[in-house]
Structure 1
Amino acid sequence: MAQEYNDMKKSNCIHLWLAMLMFVLLSTGCKPSHSEPANAGADDELGLSVQVLNYMDEGIGVVYVNGEWAGSMSSHAGGNSIAGSVGLPAKWRPGLTVEVEWQDDALYAKDPNGLYKATVPVERYDTIHSGFLWLAFFPGKKIRAIPSGTSPGFPGFPDGLRNPFDLCMRDAKCSAKYYPNRKLIQGKDQ
């Protein structure tokens, strides 16, 4: 009985020692790396989920934003998966950009490891508390970086831009080529 008591005391001491060690390790890893108060920059940055909109006839195999993987997207599709995120200033400022790297099907056919790279201006935004950075890919390697708290096709989305799938499904040629098993969407807002 005395041996079991000593073993239990020893085990409890080891657990207590490990808990204290974990506390010290975790608390030192959370300290800011500079002398500003811990919450000084919290209101100065906005975290947005990255969404890809592909208005092109070819798929996009991979997309990176500021060096972070942000997903991929088939042709005439978009906004159906959230793969990455990006931090932007809480207030827009002139000259704000993101670095976008991507590979479409044509580049992959030439060089499976190749990537296009572009510095893309971030479109003006007002107050957003949460939302998305929409990367809209258009023919001719044109890209728009659109921060928004809403989605394409919904009120308040810049320029009234619609989801590429919805646009394709309103066009008989596009829907027949890219979505032959889907029914064409009829509507007055084509």
Structure 2
Amino acid sequence: MSKRLSPLAQHTLLIAIAVWISGCSAAPPENLPTPIEGYNHTSAAINWFKVNGAGGSNFGPHLGGGSQTCCVSLPTKWRPGLKVVIEWEKDPNVGASRFWKEPPFSDAWNQRMEEHRSHYTHHRAVVELEPFGEFGSLDVHFFPCDVVKVATSNTIYGQPGYPHNEPLKMEEPKTCQNG
């Protein structure tokens, strides 16, 4: 005895088959999740940074690489005018608390830390992405005078062909000329 499917069941089955078939031939994605890595060419600490709202790590003066965080969404193909928004917080007096006489985390120490934090500075930059082909991560470079550059290269810092091989230990100028 054969059973026929109801019209609703037939319709549901056809939709399920269409979804299954279309899943097998899906177009490649337009955007990919891309790890973020930071490089600090300054004497300040970078307490945190974000790329298009996605969090990056924190790191001390003149440090970089080795600490990727996930992820910012970037297009798989470069196009002119492609930009990212970088936001960050700097601590200009790195390690000051190691010289404080107050016991760590005491009321007096916490008060002093609150005063210390009041000197942190917040920054924002819109940075154009340079042309890229294949890339592995989005590298964010923090330079003196709050200049930020990004690299989407599949080579790494220090290797020939990497776009921002400036030294990590750069001197801060007495005055800055950017804007």
Give the TM-score normalised by structure 1.
Answer: 0.58
CA root-mean-square deviation: 2.8
User: 2:156 corresponds to which residue?
Assistant: 151
**Does 1:79 pair with 2:71?**
no
Shift of 1:162: 4.9
Shift in CA distance, 102/78, structure 1 to aligned 2, threshold 3 Å: same
Question: Could you say what secondary structure the match of 1:158 adopts?
Answer: coil
- Structure 2: distance between partners of 1:163 and 1:147: 18
1:123-162, aligned counterparts within 5 Å?
A: 123-125=130-132, 127-128=133-134, 130-158=135-163, 161-162=165-166
Shift of 1:156: 2.5
Residues 24-59 of structure 1 deviation map (CA, whole Å, 9 limit, x = unaligned): xxxxxxx9xxxxx653352x2233211101001111
- Structure 1: distance between partners of 2:70 and 2:166: 22
Structure 1: stretches of 5+ with no match in the other structure: 1-30, 32-36, 174-190
- Structure 2: distance between partners of 1:111 and 1:120: 25
Shift of 1:62: 0.4
Q: In the alignment, is the contact (CA less than 8 A) between 2:34 and 2:72 conserved in 1? A: yes
Tell me how many residue pairs correspond in the alignment.
Answer: 128
1:92-111, aligned counterparts within 5 Å?
A: 92-106=78-92, 109-110=117-118
Question: Could you say what secondary structure the match of 2:58 adopts?
Answer: strand
Give the TM-score normalised by structure 2.
Answer: 0.62
1:1-190, aligned counterparts within 5 Å?
A: 39-42=26-29, 44-106=30-92, 109-110=117-118, 115-125=122-132, 127-128=133-134, 130-158=135-163, 161-162=165-166, 164=168, 168=169
User: 1:184 corresponds to which residue?
Assistant: none
Q: Which structure: greater helix fraction?
A: 1
- Structure 2: distance between partners of 1:144 and 1:69: 17
- Structure 1: distance between partners of 2:90 and 2:46: 4
Residues 140-175 of structure 1 deviation map (CA, whole Å, 9 limit, x = unaligned): 11001110112111133125x1562xxx3xx9x9xx
Structure 2: stretches of 5+ with no match in the other structure: 1-18, 94-115, 172-179
Percent sequence identity is 30
Shift of 1:103: 0.2
